[in-house]
Amino acid sequence: MIRVHREDFDVGAEIARLTEGCHEIGGIVSFVGVVRDAAGGDRIGAMTLEHYPGMTEKMLGEIEAEARRRWKLEASLIIHRYGRLEPGERIVLVVIAAAHRQAAFEACEFLVDWLKTKAPFWKLEETAAGPRWVEAQSGDDEAAKRWVAE
């Protein structure tokens, strides 16, 4: 399941709703991405996430479908927020439920790695020197590439 919206999400409520009544599940792994208050030695007052409506949902759906091809999963959820977010606010939630923990851990890491390099979001940070677009990290590309050969 994919959701893209401005509003915050409740991690516990989302997990409960996703997995309710599914007794094949033996393990649930979640990742929550949060806004930091510093980047590259500068204080970050807030950040604004811009995205490409339509393509965002399409790409997240493709990434989720790819995870479900690679691992046997019972349930999956990706929520990504956009708009202005302050330090400490949640940005993204990935939840994976599977019969066994290994599939859940691996699929969750795969989804986070791939969405960072494929989902069309861009971060604009507010710093003391003015607004600044976040540059893509080569480490994110390397992390995503780990999964290509599989």
Binding site for other proteins (CB under 8 A): 33, 49-52, 54-55, 58-59, 80, 91-92, 112, 115-124, 133-137, 140
What is the bridge-based pairing of β-strands 121-127 and 46-51? antiparallel
Considering beta carbons, is residue 27 or 120 the nearer one to other proteins? 120
Q: How far is the CB of 129 from other proteins (least distance, A)?
A: 16
Residue 28: CB minimum distance to other proteins, A: 20
Using CA atoms, how far residue 128 sits from 4, 36, 42, 119, 124, in Å, is 29, 15, 8, 28, 13
Q: Which is nearer to other proteins, 63 or 103 (CB)?
A: 63
Amino acid (one-letter) located at 115: L
CB of 82 to other proteins, least distance (A): 9
- The nearer residue to other proteins, 102 or 137, going by C-beta atoms, is 137
Are 23 and 10 in contact, with CB atoms under 8 Å apart?
Answer: no
Do 63 and 13 contact (CB within 8 A), yes or no?
Answer: no
> Shortest distance, CB of residue 90 to other proteins, whole angstroms?
12
Is 57 within 8 Å of 120 (Cβ atoms)?
no
